[in-house]
Amino acid sequence: MKVSLENSALGFLNSKKYDEMTVNVIDLEVNCCFGRIPETKITFNSPHDQNAYNRFSVDNITIYLSKVLRLEDNVKIVLSGFGPFKSLELIGLKIL
């Protein structure tokens, strides 16, 4: 698997002085017939149980991807949003 960072995502991480990030899966509860919906959650620290994650180093950023995630061969982390609403997203995620 290849993991890459979009230039704007790398700039965002560097501006915040983040040198690691963890991508995890959380379940969102929905008050409807769906029950729970899986969603990704990005944090800017290392995971407690590193054995549950695949570790990658990209442009001096350590990236931990949960082994629960179903990913394509090429994964890209991109910056989305604008102003104070900027956030990182994972491109290359298959349906959970």
pLDDT tens for the chain, residues 1 to 96: 899 999 999 999 999 999 999 999 876 666 666 666 667 899 999 999 999 999 999 999 999 999 988 899 999 999 999 888 999 999 998 865
pLDDT confidence of residue 28? 65
31 forms beta bridges with none
What residues contact 84, with CB distance under 8 A and at least 6 apart?
A: none
10 Å Cβ neighbour count for 65? Answer: 23
Task: Give the torsion sign (CA, 44, 49, 50, 52).
Answer: negative
Provide the pLDDT for residue 26: 78
- pTM across the whole model: 0.86
